[in-house]
């Protein structure tokens, strides 16, 4: 029997549901509680990635202090204990007034970054990062050496254990690096923190991982900036390194390039609200792929998705394509037109951009999204290449010949693709002899297996109506490491192209593919990975 309707046309049970629903609406009053409830929203992840973001946030706070025009900070110390995942970051900057320590490390949107200053590009944005770190730390200790006194405040899970207190001169914290002056002579900030494993779950970050983070950021600081790193490994070994910015972002090319084709092209421009630093060269190898590292406000970001690197690539390709096709190759009828892919072949570059109002995709800061940085980096890249071309005619000639050779190699590879398509037409007579076809002609599936030993059981278990099998021989070539020519000459690759029937490269047409699904059945052992 249906329940009688109330005057408002709701049943009594529905009215009860409405009343109960209001009690489900809750507010998380404290920001740190919100972070602990949804740590991935603020740190991009938990585990190694999340904790590395925490280390980066606190470390970059020290670096930001080093880059401030009004600050006298010139050194940052980072100590890392591998076994406990404990990190200590210290600087000799302006520190924090003791009455503000609680607010700075717990209350969101508390920061010095809201007052914009020309030519200053801090990595911090909204006064959120250090609060997130505090929230996911089992212990978060702050030592502020402020105008001749040391003030201490300790937190757990983002909440203060007690009010800040003054530490006497005889209470020097035991963990401070030897390079730090005595407390009575110090000015600066020390942050000591350890992860809450109930939140972070599992962490296995090595001292080398943290040192790499330091080494990637220091070249982006002002010349002379230095960081003292001390890493305590789980086996008791101690790593000590002094990382100093001597060569700026050109430092990255040392590790990226085996045999540089030209001396690094270095360029810098800062208009007060945006800046860009470029370090560019090419590997003297026709098969070398592009390798570009990108930073936004001293933070490593995704090169493919971030606007600074996109603008850089666009500017680089536009300049050299125009120069090659309209000037260098003008009148050479046998030469092939240069395309963007030719310009990026062998490219080794570092792009460090900054914006006074930088926009990231989230607190993890994986992607820089400022559209005006795209135009800024594009225009400055073209200007940089123009200036370099005028001042380095010999290197320009060498680079242009390299582009010409790359274009020729690409043209040969494209011809090979056409030849392959012609050779392996979509006829049954051209199919590989070991190919096991399906009976039907529509809605087909193709199994690619490892050799005859795998083909037999697969053939037994398949549905012969719509499932075909092709056994490959040996290890497939890696398309990322092989030249186009050598990849296309591989018999197994040619056979797969024939079976699929959709062509290759510019001639690829998905609508002509005979198979709805391609299933790769490969062993899990390393020597058979199809990557």
Question: Residue 296: beta bridge partners?
Answer: 299, 353
The residues, ordered by sequence, that sit 6+ positions from 95 with a Cβ below 8 Å of its Cβ are: 144, 145, 146, 187, 188, 189
- CA dihedral for 388, 389, 391, 395, sign (positive or negative): positive
Cα–chain center distance at 434: 43
Query: Hey, what are 281's tokens?
Result: 């060269």
**Phi (first) and psi of residue 294, to 5 degrees:** -130, 140
Question: Which runs of E-coded beta strand occur in 307-394?
Answer: 347-355
Report whether CATH 3.30.565.10 matches the domain 32-245: yes
- Average pLDDT over the chain reads 82
pTM: 0.68
Report the helix count and the strand count for the chain, using DSSP H and E: 16, 17
Which fold is adopted by the domain 424-528? Rossmann fold (3.40.50)
Work out the number of other CB atoms within 10 angstroms of the CB of residue 83: 10
The predicted structure's pLDDT at residue 286:
77
Note whether 356 and 125 are within 8 A (CB).
Answer: no
The predicted structure's pLDDT at residue 523:
66
Percent of the chain with pLDDT over 90: 30
Measured CA to CA in angstroms, residue 278 lies from 123, 274, 472 at distances of 19, 14, 45
What does the domain layout of the chain look like in residue ranges? 32-245, 249-411, 424-528
Looking at the domain that runs over 249-411, which CATH code has it been given? 3.30.230.10
Q: How many CA atoms lie within 13 A of 198 on its CB side?
A: 8
Top pLDDT among 28 and 436 is at 436
- Render pLDDT for 118-157 as a digit per residue (tens, 0 to 9): 656 666 555 577 888 888 899 999 999 888 888 899 999 8
The residues, ordered by sequence, that sit 6+ positions from 432 with a Cβ below 8 Å of its Cβ are: 470, 495, 498, 499
Which three-class secondary structure state does DSSP give residue 15?
helix
How does residue 526 score in pLDDT terms, banded at 50, 70 and 90?
very low
């Amino acid at each position: 029997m249906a329940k009688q309707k109330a005057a408002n046309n709701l049943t009594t049970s529905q009215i009860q549901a409405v009343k109960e629903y209001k009690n489900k609406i809750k507010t998380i009053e404290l920001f740190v509680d919100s972070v602990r409830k949804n740590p991935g929203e603020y740190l991009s992840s938990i585990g190694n990635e999340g904790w590395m973001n925490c280390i980066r946030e606190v470390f970059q706070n020290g670096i930001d202090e080093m880059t401030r025009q009004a600050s006298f900070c010139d050194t940052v110390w980072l100590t890392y204990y591998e076994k406990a995942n404990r990190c200590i970051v210290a600087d000799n900057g302006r520190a924090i007034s003791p009455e503000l320590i609680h607010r700075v490390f717990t209350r969101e949107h508390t920061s010095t970054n809201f007052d914009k200053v020309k030519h200053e590009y801090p990595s911090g944005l909204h006064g959120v990062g250090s609060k997130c770190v505090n929230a996911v730390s089992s212990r978060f200790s702050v030592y502020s050496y402020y105008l001749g006194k040391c003030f201490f405040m300790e937190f757990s899970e983002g909440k203060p254990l007690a009010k800040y207190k003054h530490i006497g001169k005889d209470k020097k914290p035991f963990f401070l690096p030897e390079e730090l002056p005595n407390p009575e002579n110090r000015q600066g900030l020390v942050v000591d923190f350890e992860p809450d494993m109930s939140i972070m779950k599992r962490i296995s970050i090595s001292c080398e991982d943290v040192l790499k983070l330091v080494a990637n950021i220091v070249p982006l600081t002002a010349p002379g900036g230095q960081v003292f790193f001390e890493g305590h490994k789980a086996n008791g070994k101690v790593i000590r390194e002094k990382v100093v910015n001597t060569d700026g972002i050109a430092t990255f090319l040392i590790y990226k390039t085996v045999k540089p084709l030209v001396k690094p092209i270095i360029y810098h421009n800062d208009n007060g609200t945006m800046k860009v630093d470029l370090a560019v060269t090419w590997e003297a190898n026709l098969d070398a792929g592009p390798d570009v590292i990108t930073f936004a406000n001293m933070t490593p970001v995704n090169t493919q998705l971030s606007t600074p690197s996109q603008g850089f690539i666009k500017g680089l390709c536009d300049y050299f394509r125009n120069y090659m096709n309209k000037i260098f190759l003008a009148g050479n009828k046998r030469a092939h037109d240069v395309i963007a892919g030719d310009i990026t072949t062998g490219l080794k570059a570092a792009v460090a951009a900054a914006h006074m109002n930088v926009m990231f995709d989230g607190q993890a800061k994986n992607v820089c999204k400022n559209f005006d940085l795209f135009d800024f980096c594009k225009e400055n890249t073209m200007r940089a290449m123009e200036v370099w071309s005028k001042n380095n005619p010999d290197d320009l000639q060498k680079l242009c010949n390299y582009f010409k050779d790359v274009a020729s190699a690409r043209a040969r590879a494209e011809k090979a693709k056409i030849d392959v398509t012609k050779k392996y037409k979509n006829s049954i007579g051209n199919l590989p002899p070991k190919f096991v076809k399906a009976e039907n002609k529509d809605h087909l599936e193709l199994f690619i297996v490892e050799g005859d030993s795998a083909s037999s059981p697969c053939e037994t278990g398949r549905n012969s109506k719509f499932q075909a099998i092709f056994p490959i021989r040996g290890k497939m070539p890696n398309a990322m490491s092989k030249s186009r020519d050598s990849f296309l000459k591989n018999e197994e690759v040619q056979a797969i192209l024939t079976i699929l029937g959709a062509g290759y490269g510019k001639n690829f047409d998905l609508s002509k593919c005979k198979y709805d699904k391609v299933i790769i059945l490969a062993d899990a052992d390393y020597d058979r990975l199809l990557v």
